[in-house]
Amino acid sequence: MIECICNGKYKIPALAVDAIIREKEKIVLIKRGKEPFKGRWALPGGFVKEGEKTTQAISREVEEETNLKIEIKNLVGVYSDPNRDPRGHVVSVVYSSEIKEGGLEASSDAKETRLFSINELPTLAFDHKKIIDEYKKVTIK
């Protein structure tokens, strides 16, 4: 039996998911409505709930934040730098995906959502610039 050390709401490290949603040469970003990085652009995503698969979590988070249903394509990577999130140690599993249905509309804790050229991005929250840069190296030739 494995014992878990918990800090209340999330186990340390907390597990999160993020999505790179491609629409041709653009990607979907959300403007954060909450701290940390309130008002900055970020990849759609959030925390994995207990008993939830990461693929279920990313589908749920994307729909909650953007009103889009997605088709997951590939695992982009796992980002585990203990300093990537000012709230504490958060490990993020990042997936690439495409829009399956729905219209782009901000909801949940997203203040705004928009398509941006993958080569002309605003200042991003967390380590999302690094994630997108690494994604571009392997997918855009």
Give the residue from 58, 37, 62, 35 showing the smallest Cα distance to 48.
58
Residue 132 DSSP SS3 = helix
Burial class (CB in 10 A: 0-12, 13-18, 19+), 111: middle
- Alpha helices (H) in 1-141, listed in sequence order: 54-66, 128-139
For position 112, what pLDDT does the model report? 96
Handedness of CA 108, 114, 117, 123 (dihedral sign): negative
Question: What's residue 3's pLDDT?
Answer: 47
**pLDDT of the residue at 140:** 72
Nearest to 97 by CA among 44, 31, 138: 44
CA dist., res. 66 & res. 88, Å (int): 25
For 101, residues 6+ apart whose C-beta sits below 8 A from its C-beta are 68, 69
Q: Which residues are catalytic?
A: 112
pLDDT tens for the chain, 141 residues: list them: 334 555 556 568 999 999 999 999 999 999 999 999 999 999 999 999 999 999 999 999 999 999 999 999 999 999 999 999 999 999 999 999 999 999 999 987 789 999 999 999 999 999 999 999 999 998 875
Q: Please name each of the domains of the chain with its CATH number.
A: 14-139 (3.90.79.10)
At 1 the pLDDT is 38
